[in-house]
Amino acid sequence: MSQAPALSTHQEADQFQYSQIEEKRIERYYLGEYSDLKQRIIQFYDLDELKTKLQEKDNDGRLKYKNITLQFPDSLIADSSIVLSYLQESLVTNEDCSTKSYPDVEEIGCKGCVDCDKRDKNSKSQDSDKQAIWILADTAYSSCCIDEVASGHVNGDVVVHFGDACLNPIDKLNALYVFGKPHLNAEKIIERVEELCLEDDKVVLMSDTPYSYNLYSIYRELKPKYPNLAYADVDFDLQRENMEVIGKWSQPQDEDSIAFANRRIFGLVDEISNYKLFHITLPADPRLLFLSTNFSSVEIFDCKENCTVLGPFPSLMKRYKHMHVGRTAGTIGILINTLSLANTKIMLNTVIKAIRAAGKKHYIFVVGKPNVAKLANFDPIDIWCILGCGQSGIVIDNVGDYYKPIITPYELQLALKPEVSWTGRWVTDFMEVIENGEFDLGNDEDTENDIVERHKDDAPEFDAVTGKFSTFSRPLRQLKHLDVEVIENQDETALVKKFSSNLAIQSTVSTSAKALQERSWTGLGSDFKDLEEYGAALEEGRNGIARDYGL
């Protein structure tokens, strides 16, 4: 090469072409046919009733809700601007609440101390009858749950939740649920039920919460032809003092019903397991897996395409495999996927005690919404136990994207039992797992030496997934205090080298040292450590415009 290659090439303006971004049309199939979009959205969300609720005052004549947060799922976020505009026109709002993106530090930080010159100003702002409205553009965890974390960033007094909801109890904030009343092609549904079901079949009609208000009319239409037909409606008895549903519809009082998850099923004449399920709308994977384990068969109707969905659906047999992985896992990662559900702390403490009593190690992780990239950073974890909402807050890995299996507390309970057991059920409710579960929690007075003695003579455990024996399934069976001291006059990596060269440190099994030993990549240049020659021949690279490069 006689001269250095050109690092840049002269380019004219006409060599670049920019395509204009086309405006994407938002498809609101759930609204049906309409002539005025704003009026249709006002009717869809019952905004007049919501406006009246937000204008309520307490006994002192002050507004109950001053900082109002609106929570939309991704499928309904396009309606948020119209909803916000209508509420701002009706409520007593601040002049700049539509452009203000975050509260001032003084508003959320000043406590109005006695000797502070801002006390009068702060008290006036708190007593003012002004309301600020905020849109939560993204949820911290599951979209069906109340996002107390995001609302707390603006000191929210109430969360107005739009769309499908799990109605799980919350502890801190007030919550208003607006399900919406979407358009439903009842004729298509009736036609599809008649094609799939015989007259003597036992069928339950069910849908997500927004479409549930249509089910009673469809039920009455089909009941004369199908005497064993039943339907599920929203269980409004789940409401607490700090929860209320806007646009709540009436339910029949003359029919018996039973509670099932967050629904009430009317018209049952037999056990639920003997019924087929006809579900309107495609539920989230955790919800779908739960329903498939309780009904004899499941048919899904897609309201957008007006046809049934054939799958693929989550497999319970894969959960059975993951349960076996949990039996021989030495290190369990507890993944917190909710911070607002009641009983989360009780469930967390129960899981920790059970893992410790089984002689296994655990770590607690709060990473927001879990994804493959986040969880891949923690290689020493053998299996994840996720604590989340049973409707959409549990990760179901259908295609094997995640590097390590993810199980629920109920499946972990089965994995920690001395003998293999499988019930075929899939329980996600925290209280049911705590009250009816069979966790071996050990004794609260157990010391580390007690755990050592309990698992002292444990033989290697057979791994049914790999077909090999595992000696690291209970690393705490030799647990003792670590007294590792860094020797003077050694570099900072000496401790790491000491850990990585021994799997047992002072009679203690170290899963971290085991992970270090099994790593094939130890840093830059480690790929060439076995090669005798380093470097490569210098070659001339490409030049010109990058878009003209040939492949």
Do the Cβ atoms of 262 and 166 come closer than 8 Å? yes
Residue 192 domain-assigned? yes
Q: What is the pLDDT of residues 463-489, one digit of tens each?
A: 777 777 776 667 765 544 333 343 444
Which of 6-10, 265-269, 315-319, 369-373 is predicted with the least confidence, judged by mean pLDDT? 6-10
Residue 487 domain-assigned? yes
Are both 439 and 340 inside the same structural domain? yes
CATH number assigned to the domain comprising residue 108: 3.40.50.11840
Question: Which pLDDT score is estimated for 449?
Answer: 58
Are both 337 and 439 inside the same structural domain? yes
CATH number assigned to the domain comprising residue 354: 3.40.50.11860
Q: Higher-confidence residue: 522 or 229?
A: 229
The closest alpha carbon to 283, from 190, 165, 405, 176, belongs to 165
Are both 238 and 294 inside the same structural domain? yes
Are both 475 and 418 inside the same structural domain? no
The closest alpha carbon to 42, from 247, 304, 233, 303, belongs to 247
Residue 17 domain-assigned? no
3-state SS, 411-449, equals HHHHHCCCCCCCCCCCCCCHHHHHHHCCCCCCCCCCCHH
Number of domains the chain is built from: 4
Which of 213-217, 322-326, 352-356, 473-477 is predicted with the least confidence, judged by mean pLDDT? 473-477
pLDDT at 124 over 50: no
Average pLDDT, the chain: 79
Please report which confidence band the pLDDT of residue 447 belongs to, taking 50, 70 and 90 as the band edges. low
The closest alpha carbon to 161, from 143, 181, 138, belongs to 143
Q: What is the pLDDT of residues 79-105, one digit of tens each?
A: 999 999 999 887 765 544 444 444 443
Are both 168 and 49 inside the same structural domain? yes
Residue 548 domain-assigned? no
Are both 85 and 147 inside the same structural domain? yes
**φ/ψ of residue 482, rounded to 5:** -85, 120
Are both 50 and 167 inside the same structural domain? yes
Are both 174 and 34 inside the same structural domain? yes
Residue 15 domain-assigned? no
For residues 205 and 279, give the distance between their C-alpha atoms in angstroms, rounded to a whole number.
6
Q: Which domain holds residue 331?
A: 316-445
Percent of the chain exceeding pLDDT 70 equals 72
Residue 543 domain-assigned? no
Question: Which of 258, 275, 309 represents a domain boundary (last residue)?
Answer: 309
H or E segment at 219?
Answer: helix 215-222
Please report which confidence band the pLDDT of residue 172 belongs to, taking 50, 70 and 90 as the band edges. confident
Which of 114-128, 171-185, 220-234 is predicted with the least confidence, judged by mean pLDDT? 114-128
Q: How many helices (H) and strands (E) does the chain have?
A: 17, 20
CATH number assigned to the domain comprising residue 265: 3.40.50
User: H-type helices in 45-202, by residue range?
Assistant: 47-54, 80-90, 105-109, 119-127, 148-152, 186-196
Residue 533 domain-assigned? no
Write down the pTM of the prediction: 0.77
